[in-house]
Amino acid sequence: MEEVCLNSEPVFDMVDEYEGEGDCSAVEHDDETGSKHSKKEPPLPTIGLEFDSFDEAYDYYNIYAKEQGFGIRVSNSWFRTKKKERYRAKLSCSSAGFKKKSEANNPRPETRTGCPAMVVIRLVDSKRWRIVEVELEHNHQVSPQIKRFYKSHKKMILAARKARPPAEPVTEIHTIKLYRTAAMDAVSNGFSNVSEREGIHQPDHSKHLELKEGDAYAVYNFFCRMKLTNPNFFYLMDFDDDSWLKNVFWADARSRAVYGYFSDTVAIDTTCLTSKYELPLISFVGVNHHGQSVLLGCGFLGHKSVEYFVWIFRAWLKCMLGHQPQVIVTDQCKPLQIAVSEVFPKARHCFCLWYIMQRVPEKLGGLRGFEEIKRQLNKAVYNSLKIIEFETSWTEMIKKHGLGDNKWLQTLYEERKQWVPVYLKDTFFSGMIPIRENESLNAFFDGYVHKHTSFKEFVDKYDLALYRKHLKEATADVQSKNSSFELKTRCNFEVQLSKAYTKEIFDKFQSEVEGMYSCFNTRQVTANGPIVTYIVKERVEIEGNEKEVRSYEVLFETNQVDIRCICSLFNYKGYLCRHALNVLNYNGVEEVPSRYILRRWCKDFKFQHVDRGSTDIDVYSPVYRQSHFHNYAVPIVEGGAQSEEQYKIALHELQELLNKFNLVDDSLV
């Protein structure tokens, strides 16, 4: 298996001709009909955007200019005297400045307007070009609808024609091959150019990504755009020996930074694979400090096999600098299980309870007495507080309905320690999986992916999906920081946590505080030194409006004020349950002990958290430094968006920092 690392910026095709001092061109690929592939509008030029070369920076601004409807030229350049090496340049709108006055009898009319639109780029670290100044406003009309070809755009078209092979048009698979060796030249349009009768074995089409027309070009365009706008963007592609694309993985800068905060529990979502969607999407998802799902990377999987799962897991682990999660939640799939045990041997691997229970109608719906079977199954899974209770309920269900030969139920029982809540009480899930019958779970891309979503359609929707998720998180940050929470009881626990938790987590904790009043008859039953056992009774709703009384065993250690309830809500959700709160209150403890206030749920968590990473990481490597800096930068960016005053402070400090960088660059010249 060949692995190709694409964790570098895209390099556009270039020509040697320049307009004035330096016009170079990016290539637009024509399809077989001669029409241009539709392209997304390039991102706006912004200070700090970097490129591998001067030519690449010029290409980027030229493409942006063409989409906006104006031409460009190199209006100024700065060179080092000794080396005759360009280290700074100004790329201006073609209408910048004014032409020199001509002494001819009939001089050409003035076409320039002194337009101020421009970008200034500078060579940093002797190898990369960075935008250091930007002006986007023009003093004349610009429009992509104006059918006018500027010099810089004409050369772009000429370069595209020169770059096209004379006998065969460039196809979309060739655009993927811009990052490949010549070995891929035998592949075109997703099918081999050489047939079996010429002595070449046809590859197994069932074990590679089935890219339809436009898909490969869309994915390539997506990676180019993301790398230009996302300096810490990471992606890998996996090809087989016949140069067929097997797997793809990527993670943007935000996903890599967020993993530094929320790496305790990770769900690997394979819904698209198990439900046989046309899009073989696999997503790595975590939970943020608001209890919202956050994307930690995703990819396309060519085949549901151990080999393919192992590749994409290793790609994700490499992207996250080798830092493994504590808990991994997946679907109940045998190849998936084997791959997780191989790549994440130290992680606690669990199956998602919600996914399993969703399959009950499909697997058991045709059986006689299905409704009664379902009721008993739910009771065994959701209501069992002790292992013996689950074992007894399960056995009764199997015997009563004659289900001893049901293979699906047999498999579930054999793997019960990986999905039944009563066996997972010592595992922290950070609220990742539902543990109650009325709780549900939504996939991260729910609403953006359906059975027939294509690769092209998905990458087009990807930005929108992440934008809405980020907006939801930013809104929750503002609400948590600036809002005063409504208190519903006079309990000190509620007052204490209203100052610490984010709004969403406080609302959930608040329901536990309110639930204290449904508990009664808290009494001590045993004492073993400092460890005291209490029984707390609670009236809980069962079916309909019916209620029953349940007894919960709570252990309380008086010296260290440690507490643990048999319901284990703290391990499942990360905050104390009503039963534990009752026992604390019974013993005169007025505040929740600090060890039970998890920092990951606090409103200022990302500002306090610093990810130290794994001990075996090379802290001197550029990859580590970039990722580490990004972890620090995210709280600054998000904090700066909280208010107008904070925005001005953050912007001022960042500008000062950029000025200091420029001074360092100047001292190195």
Confidence check: pLDDT of 168 > 80: no
Please, which pLDDT band fits residue 487 given cuts at 50, 70 and 90? very high
Kindly state the percentage of the chain with pLDDT values over 70: 76
Q: Does 63 share its domain with 87?
A: yes
The answer to whether residue 18 is domain-embedded is no
The answer to whether residue 86 is domain-embedded is yes
CB atoms within 10 A of CB 14: 17
- The total domain count for the chain is 5
- For residue 492, CA distances in Å to 172, 425, 590, 657 come to 64, 28, 6, 44
522-536: pLDDT as tens digits = 999 999 999 999 999
Phi and psi torsions of 121, nearest 5°:
-115, 150
Which comes out higher in pLDDT, residue 425 or 659?
A: 425
Q: Does 224 share its domain with 121?
A: no
| Cα(295)–Cα(293) distance, integer angstroms | 7
Q: Does 263 share its domain with 347?
A: yes
Q: Is 153 exposed, middle or buried (0-12, 13-18, 19+ CB in 10 A)?
A: buried
Which comes out higher in pLDDT, residue 505 or 607?
A: 505
Residue with tokens 């208010």: 643
**Degrees, nearest 5: CA angle 177-180-183:** 95
151-165: pLDDT as tens digits = 777 666 555 555 555
The answer to whether residue 31 is domain-embedded is no
Confidence check: pLDDT of 580 > 60: yes
The answer to whether residue 432 is domain-embedded is no
Confidence check: pLDDT of 144 > 80: no
Q: Does 508 share its domain with 620?
A: no
Q: Does 519 share its domain with 581?
A: yes
Predicted local confidence at residue 224, as pLDDT = 87
Q: Does 263 share its domain with 324?
A: yes
Q: Does 304 share its domain with 398?
A: no
Predicted local confidence at residue 535, as pLDDT = 97
Q: Does 125 share its domain with 223?
A: no
For the residues of 201-249, what is the DSSP string, one character each?
PPP-GGGS----TTHHHHHHHHHHHHHHH-TT-EEEEEE-TT--EEEEE
pTM passes above 0.75: no
- Centroid of chain to Cα 324: 16
**Burial track 222-257 (b if 16+ CB lie within 10 A, e otherwise):** bbbbbbbbbebbbbbbbbbebbbbbbbbbbbbbbbb
Helix axes 54-68, 151-163, angle to 10 degrees: 110
- Residue where one domain finishes, among candidates 547, 568, 596: 596
Predicted local confidence at residue 16, as pLDDT = 32
For 79, the token pair is 């060179």
Please, which pLDDT band fits residue 240 given cuts at 50, 70 and 90? confident
Sign for the CA dihedral angle at 450, 451, 457, 463 comes to positive
Confidence check: pLDDT of 174 > 90: no
Region class of 536: left (phi > 0), else alpha (psi between -120 and 50), else beta? beta
Predicted local confidence at residue 94, as pLDDT = 87
Q: Does 495 share its domain with 576?
A: yes
Q: Which domain holds residue 365?
A: 354-421
The mean pLDDT of 498-510, rounded to a whole number, is 95
The answer to whether residue 6 is domain-embedded is no
- Residue where one domain finishes, among candidates 572, 596, 620: 596
Question: Whole-number mean pLDDT of the chain?
Answer: 80
The mean pLDDT of 615-641, rounded to a whole number, is 55
Kindly state the percentage of the chain with pLDDT values over 90: 46
Q: Does 648 share its domain with 588?
A: no
340-395: pLDDT as tens digits = 999 999 999 999 999 999 999 999 998 999 999 999 999 999 999 999 999 999 99
438-447: pLDDT as tens digits = 787 788 998 8
The answer to whether residue 669 is domain-embedded is no
Sign for the CA dihedral angle at 90, 91, 93, 95 comes to positive
Q: Does 388 share its domain with 335?
A: no
Q: Supply the Cα-derived Rg of the chain in whole angstroms.
A: 30
Write out the H or E segment, with its range, that includes residue 309.
helix 306-319
185-205: pLDDT as tens digits = 333 333 333 333 334 445 555
The answer to whether residue 476 is domain-embedded is no
Please, which pLDDT band fits residue 609 given cuts at 50, 70 and 90? low
Confidence check: pLDDT of 614 > 60: no
Q: Does 585 share its domain with 623?
A: no
CATH classification at residue 269: 3.30.420
Q: 286, 296 in Cβ contact below 8 A?
A: yes
The answer to whether residue 177 is domain-embedded is no
